[in-house]
Structure 1
């Protein structure tokens, strides 16, 4: 089998190309896909910490901190010390942050629909099911680190 036909390589390429497409779709809002992920999670669950966001977004704490700093500079979020743990900063969307999050999310979903229209509805559902099964089968992150 040609190495370019390996399923994991194709998954990586698909993830990369779809991320680029979504980045292009939301570029006019001045945010990246990572920043949109932060905004969306904060819209759904206000007050998350950087560590919470990193776990939920499957990105490094450093990437989250960079995204938070950029969003805070743009006044899309505000960070406040945790009432019980002063060193933990909780993040909240501003009104402008909520507007940008909503607008970006619409554009990202439109992009997703355009990308996936190569599949009919049944194929899209099959793809979802295949990916869910793959995710469920993969070892937990803690398991993968142990040896």
Structure 2
């Protein structure tokens, strides 16, 4: 490896220090460190958007509502699969959503042992309201990206989501 290649090669995690200021990540920080930090910050920012909308629901709860908005009447395990979450986490989130009147549990018509989740009118209103309130804040979160780079960034995220989805299915034996 040439000196130029060595200078451009990603550093091992042990060779760089975690920055005290997230805006000062070293150029050679491993991709996973950048992604994990961005993900953590997006989660915190997302929860701020929920609070700014005046809602008393978690981001995880909004995620469940969004999944049910796409397809109502799913089993908890199906919601967990679509949200890349664990069934236990979904159960805890759904318990809160059901208590607050956003989701209903109903037995399956064909097999009463199966419980299906349904979005209530109140739950539908919450997710619709959140999206309308948070959309400007999320646009602001990405307004730093150069318009000319957007297609490249979008393609990267789509590829990353697909790749990580395949890895997760492999891990889960599917």
The answer to whether the 8 Å contact 1:36/1:105 transfers is no
Partner of 1:76: 102
After TM superposition, the score normalised by the length of structure 2 is: 0.76
Whether 1:127 and 2:121 are equivalent positions in the alignment is: no
Instruction: Determine which structure has the larger helix proportion and give its number.
Output: 1
Q: 1:3 to 1:82 in 2, by over 3 A?
A: farther
Rounded to whole Å, the distance in 1 between the matches of 2:91 and 2:65 is 13
Rounded to whole Å, the distance in 1 between the matches of 2:134 and 2:114 is 31
RMSD value, Cα: 1.8
Unaligned runs of 5+ in 2: 1-10, 19-28
Whether 1:62 and 2:88 are equivalent positions in the alignment is: yes
Q: With CA pairs under 8 Å and 6+ residues apart, which has the higher RCO, 1 or 2?
A: 1
After TM superposition, the score normalised by the length of structure 1 is: 0.89
Rounded to whole Å, the distance in 1 between the matches of 2:127 and 2:102 is 9
Partner deviation per Cα, 1:35-55 (whole Å, 9 max, x = no partner): 001111111211011001000
Unaligned runs of 5+ in 1: none
The answer to whether the 8 Å contact 1:116/1:124 transfers is no
Partner of 1:141: 168
Measured after TM superposition, the shift of residue 34 of structure 1 is: 0.7
Rounded to whole Å, the distance in 1 between the matches of 2:74 and 2:171 is 26
Rounded to whole Å, the distance in 2 between the matches of 1:132 and 1:53 is 21
